[in-house]
Copies of this chain bind each other. A is one copy, B any other.
């Protein structure tokens, strides 16, 4: 029986991989018919892969040491699963980065190819000088735009943005499918070799460790470059975003990939496998009735089947968006025959990109809910509705959290508008209103998490809470596709700017970037909700594994644990923010120095030293990710050994409480500042270049490490600490 579970998991994991492979084949066929675009794409690609290589070479010894310690403490099994988890996460990050940095230039070129021939001339020929990207003494003139050799693809139906959506989304969906594919394959392989759910959790520990380092390191890299490029380039020197005269521009564009692709991919890989592992661990021992039979393999298998069905649902969803995927047209024609769907498919075929993304996600979600219903009945007969409704309550809570997040952080609603309005009285009030907004935004999501916890628990105990988290993440395949497609489009825009392509190209890529945002917000809500529920489930799994009766907060050891645990997210955030601001400070000094010392840099005749900026970001990311990452592993172990397993339980509880709050607070403050700045740039409150804008830029800069470094890493932090405790539980 358990071999059957392994088999099914493996099959769907491989299916996801195959889908990614075929999409990649199609993507790889297309050419970039513009030399400067191709060159820039390859520089960014090279920079990103070089960073990843360095990062992994820093992490390898860490993984080795932990593995040796695990062998000594728990035996070979746990060490094997840990290393496999780390390897799968690293591989997913590597492939994702490889593909994404191969898709950005193709997206730019596809957007260029989609433009009418008479608009293909560069817009700012006379105004802006060009800078050679390769090291050379004499500045080369790249100001001519080569006529595209051939459009990227002949059959693009998404006419609004030409093939650009297709290309960018192809890249995104490869990232998404590789993550879930490797997740399932890794789980299946470790399960096959270990056949022990408890030892299996070390797989999650490996994934979490890599994820934390990747998130923190990636976040530091990208924000140091971003802040440096923005504050000196845009604000002080007054040159546009992604201007090739800005020495930090390459680091900035590499950083987008390091942070948003590799960082996010590792993050979701971790969330995905840990939600499944937590549900497996609890499912193995759960029984619906007091003293009844444990679910055993039924409880272990259900989350795996949910995930497997999620892969299938995600693939179908992707096919609704990307018509070049294998069998996509067949699938669409089948769906078009369903009642009411003919018009939907037609609208997608006519090229409504925003609608396509939304529909793809909804189709995947709908399939997922239907599948959950059927699987619940197959697995749990009389208790099927309890389980099904648990999953549904979790998914609903996640979606509402996404909507609430959107309302707090989008420029379309009053909250961000009021942050923007506070720029009338300067930077200080922008900061205060953004901080206040972020703190307030913890309210509804926390209440929703509480509600979903209570409902799921009432219906199916802690197993219900755990599978609710699995349900929220089961369509990670498509939601990560949508998430990852954004930075690809963003990067494509950067390349367009640096290549001095006509403005229309940038408009297309900006449009592509924007339309993914609302859909991505829903994914973020699911990620936050699932992080909280997964952490709770792992926490309960820990107390089972450590044979703890009760973690009584009237016990002073538990109180002390709670306080220490509650403190850790603050220390963690402090370290991350500090790392970013130090690195950004160094970057600012360097960019200022170059503007000052390199002759002709502003006229485009002097070549900026891009490499120096890349080196600053790389160095900061690698050196500064160590302490927060190691702290997350060492402190729980210390507390467990020194103060006992109840105190460790308290620590986990405390860290979940403040971790969830701080994650929501920082992500939403950061998001609101970002969009308040954009709202002003759209022309409100005196628009770009006004004192209001300058005040909003301060907010945006403060928000950068909030939303892209510390905030998202907190979700990983609380799970990593919990999974470390769970893996080591037999020792306490």
Binding site for B on A (CB under 8 A): 227, 231, 422, 424-429, 431-433, 435-440, 442-443, 446-447, 449-450, 453-454, 457, 462, 465, 532, 536, 539-540, 543, 548, 550-554, 556-560, 562-567, 570-571, 573-575, 577-578, 580-581, 584-585, 588-589, 649-650, 653-654, 657-658, 660-661, 665, 697-698, 701-702, 705
Contacts and interface: CB of A to CB of B under 8 A. Distances in A.
Contacts of A562: 653, 657
Contact of A556 (B454, B560, B701): B454
Contacts of A574: 435-440
A548 B550 CA distance: 14
A705 B429 CA distance: 11
Given A428-B231, A574-B440, A560 B453 contact: yes
A446 B563 contact: yes
Contacts of A580: 432
A539 to B, nearest CB: 8
A658 B566 contact: yes
Contacts of A701: 426, 428-429, 432
A570 B439 contact: yes
Contacts of A589: 425
> How many copies of this chain?
2
Most B Cβ at <10 Å: residue of A428, A442, A446? A428
A375 to B, nearest CB: 24
A489 to B, nearest CB: 27
A638 to B, nearest CB: 12
Contact of A661 (B438, B442, B454, B570): B570
15 contacts: A227-B428, A231-B425, A426-B701, A428-B697, A432-B580, A439-B570, A446-B567, A539-B554, A550-B550, A550-B552, A551-B553, A553-B649, A562-B657, A566-B657, A567-B661
A432 B658 contact: no
Contacts of A658: 566, 657-658, 661
A543 B422 CA distance: 45
Nearest to A560: B450
Contacts of A548: 554
A32 B443 CA distance: 53
B578 A425 contact: no
A658 B571 CA distance: 13
A507 to B, nearest CB: 29
Given A653-B562, A661-B658, A432 B705 contact: yes
A425 B570 contact: no
A457 B580 CA distance: 41
A432 B702 CA distance: 6
A566 B657 CA distance: 6
Given A442-B571, A571-B440, A585-B422, A566 B661 contact: yes
Contacts of A465: 556
A454 B698 contact: no
Nearest to A664: B570
Given A554-B551, A567-B661, A429 B654 contact: no
A573 B439 contact: yes
Contact of A698 (B227, B422, B446, B698): B698
Given A429-B701, A446-B563, 9 more contacts: A422-B581, A425-B585, A427-B427, A429-B584, A436-B581, A439-B574, A454-B560, A566-B660, A658-B658
Given A442-B570, A553-B653, A231 B450 contact: no
Shortest 4 CB-CB contacts between residues of A and residues of B: A428-B701, A439-B574, A566-B657, A440-B574
B571 A443 contact: yes
A621 B437 CA distance: 20
Contacts of A442: 567, 570-571
Nearest to A464: B556
Contacts of A453: 556, 559-560
A537 to B, nearest CB: 11
Contact of A563 (B422, B427, B581, B657): B657
Contact of A550 (B438, B554, B557, B698): B554
B660 A563 contact: yes
Contacts of A567: 442-443, 446-447, 661
Given A559-B536, A567-B442, A567-B661, A432 B581 contact: yes
B551 A425 contact: no
A550 to B, nearest CB: 4
Nearest to A649: B553
A248 to B, nearest CB: 13
A553 B665 contact: no
Contacts of A532: 563
Nearest to A565: B657
